[in-house]
Structure 1
Amino acid sequence: MVGLDPTIHSRERRHPKWPARPRRARRSNAPQEDPMPVNKKHDEFYTLDMTTGWEVPAGYPQGIKQKIISGALDEENRGGTRTRLLKFDPGVFTTKPFEHEYWEEVYLVSGDLTVGNDENGDGGETFPPNTYACRPPHAPHGPFKSEKGCMLLEIHYFDPV
């Protein structure tokens, strides 16, 4: 069995049979010893305050709220990464499909989520907790509804990260 070369720095460690990954140019001319390509701070485990920091995202109906956990997404300049919780109150639904320019990973933490309902909130396919979706930029998705309410964990990022 071929192992990893322990003399290679962990950021450069790769399997000996895999080709080397090309290095990306830095976006800043400022000298950096160990640049982080992601705009998130290092956070160890801590308890989230689930009572504050919730807001209705732009373009969403009342009853759907987000709490940004980490990072920020700059949609205008197509940069950044964001991790957020998205909460649907019971009975809330959207009426039109979504499409955006960033990658999106979605994990249904709790509750029910229906995908593909009509403008009246009827129909669609319902998913239980512990379901996951990964969407590339410009993938149409939705509309969405939740009968009993739900909590989603979402990660958004532009390519390349």
Structure 2
Amino acid sequence: MKGMHEFLDTTDLPWQNVDGHPGVTERVLSAAPGDPGELTRLARWAPGLDTSEAGVIRHEYYEEVYLLDGELHDLTLDATFTAGYYASRPPGMAHGPYRTATGCTMLEIRYWPTSSE
């Protein structure tokens, strides 16, 4: 289960490198220890990042993403998304790969399906 925070000042959190994802840094706002499917974070992608090598992405948890700044180009859809765009992905939904020329920052929320889903 994720921890509780009453108005955490996110600027106090350092940007950390994300293991296995060069060019991606994060500020973890809330997470269940050892559980990648229970996470709220700010993720920052460096200018020029290209995830083509990783291919299309699928995961077992729900994922919601809100772009705060920059741009993100979906190579499969051939569409570019900018600040203010939002994605809601159920488990197993294919998405990506992506490329960003300018870099971007996004709010990402992950959670597991309930037992009734």
TM score, norm. by length of structure 2: 0.83
Cα shift at 1:130: 0.5
Larger Rg: 1
Q: Does the Cα contact within 8 Å between 2:65 and 2:107 map onto a contact in 1?
A: yes
Q: Percent identity?
A: 37
Deviations 1:94-138 (A, max 9, x none): 011111111000000111111126xxxxx8211110100000001
RMSD: 2.2
Assess, with a 3 A threshold, how the Cα gap between structure 1 residues 57 and 137 changes in structure 2: closer, same or farther: farther
Quick check: which one's strand share is greater? 2
Alignment of 1:44-63 (within 5 A): 44-49=6-11, 52-58=14-20, 60=21, 62-63=22-23
Please point out which of 49, 71, 77 is paired with 1:112.
71
> Paired residue for 2:61?
102
Cα shift at 1:85: 1.3
Please point out which of 35, 58, 61 is paired with 1:74.
35
> Paired residue for 1:42?
4
Cα shift at 1:51: 6.5
Assess, with a 3 A threshold, how the Cα gap between structure 1 residues 53 and 87 changes in structure 2: closer, same or farther: closer
Quick check: which one's helix share is greater? 2
Alpha-carbon separation, structure 2, partners of 1:65 and 1:56: 5
Assess, with a 3 A threshold, how the Cα gap between structure 1 residues 103 and 51 changes in structure 2: closer, same or farther: closer
Q: How many residue pairs are counted as aligned between the two chains?
A: 112
Query: Tell me, which stretches of 5 or more residues in structure 1 are unaligned?
Result: 1-38, 118-122
> Which fold has the larger relative contact order, with Cα–Cα distance below 8 Å and residues 6 or more apart in sequence?
2
> Paired residue for 2:94?
140
Please point out which of 40, 43, 46 is paired with 1:89.
46
Alpha-carbon separation, structure 2, partners of 1:154 and 1:125: 20
Cα shift at 1:50: 6.1
Bigger drift between 139-148 and 63-72 goes to 63-72
Q: Please tell me the residue identity of whatever aligns with 1:54.
A: Q
Q: Please tell me the residue identity of whatever aligns with 1:68.
A: V
TM score, norm. by length of structure 1: 0.62
